[in-house]
Chains A and B, each alone.
Chain A
């Protein structure tokens, strides 16, 4: 099996290597890929949509359908993980661990034992629990807001600098995942429940598709943001720029929510009680 695989891989690799003889050189400005469509985008993106970042203009305007269904794909991925993994039957754990916060002593309470009811003195902890370090907690408390602020900047400033909905959404989702790693899954779910993240994911896709539909209702084609000019009270070029921003916000919302949703389901195998 191994030798067959090595032979196949070597054969494929040498065929590919042979084909690279015909490929354009590294950084060749006259490469076929750069000759046909991209000069149009480079020369007209600014004129058509008032967006200096050509990648954003192509992503959300020229190739709007692609990006819309891309958002639908990640929504579908979140949904698929939910249906594959989520279990709602709660298994009765026969022992629970509680930590007395002032002293740091961990109590193991067997089935039928009395559960401490003062949440300011006792916190429930996971069975594979490593003590939350003060350094980790403080660092995360400091950097998580900065990460979230930067993510909002990346979404909002995607017109003028590298960035946009996908990137900002992933950074925003990563900040919540960092919170879940640095504390525990339960307290993160308490802050942003699964229901909220599912609603946010579908809202993001809905914002995107709804913007397209609004263009249709205003008498133009689907996702032609120029038609939004009367609603946004601006010229048709600026309306395209604003339309791209609205769509990017929808994408960011959907990506953030799906990242968090995927993490909740995969890290706890669908049980949502104990994470990593």
Chain B
């Protein structure tokens, strides 16, 4: 019983780390009143997803997805190389996260120029006064 538990923890602990990161990001996006902190939460969330995909692509005793010695003859064993597909997807996801971060910061600057604050409560009260 105890041994089963330990093997399960050893086999799945990577997912747990990503879930903890993801929940930290989600919590920051829900609770934090400062817009920049919300953006940071969104970035933590995206990072956890990226790590999750990369870990799904891992294979035991396999190497990076670059064919060794280039241009070799014969059959290539799929188990000798880790899964390249999550890497490709996350390469593009990182770019999207940079793009969303840029646009989000630009919007935050516009909000700051308008209301002279980044705190959600102050912005809300200013909107209510109008």
Interface residues of A (CB under 8 A from B): 1-2, 5-6, 8-10, 12-13, 16-17, 20-21, 23-29, 31, 33-34, 37-39, 41-43, 45-46, 50, 52-55, 58-59, 63, 66-67, 70, 73-74, 76-78, 80-81, 84-85, 160-162, 164, 166, 170, 255, 258-259, 262, 265-266, 269-270
Contact = CB atoms under 8 A, between A and B. Distances in A.
Contacts of A31: 56, 59
Given A58-B85, A166-B95, A27 B60 contact: yes
A253 to B, nearest CB: 14
B30 A8 contact: yes
**Interface secondary structure of A, over-half rule:** helix
Contact of A26 (B13, B64, B85, B109): B13
Contacts of B64: 162
**Interface secondary structure of B, over-half rule:** helix
Given A55-B84, A77-B103, A266-B105, A70 B96 contact: yes
B76 A29 contact: no
A266 B99 contact: no
Given A6-B27, A38-B84, A20 B66 contact: no
6 contacts: A8-B26, A26-B55, A38-B84, A70-B95, A77-B98, A266-B106
Bin the interface of chain B by size.
Answer: 35 or more
Nearest to B81: A42
A74 B27 contact: no
Nearest to A77: B99
A111 to B, nearest CB: 24
A55 B107 contact: no
Interface of B: 11-16, 19-20, 22-23, 26-27, 30-31, 55-60, 62, 64-67, 70-72, 75-76, 78-79, 81, 83-88, 91-92, 94-96, 98-100, 102-103, 105-107, 109-110, 113
A93 B17 CA distance: 51
A20 B106 contact: no
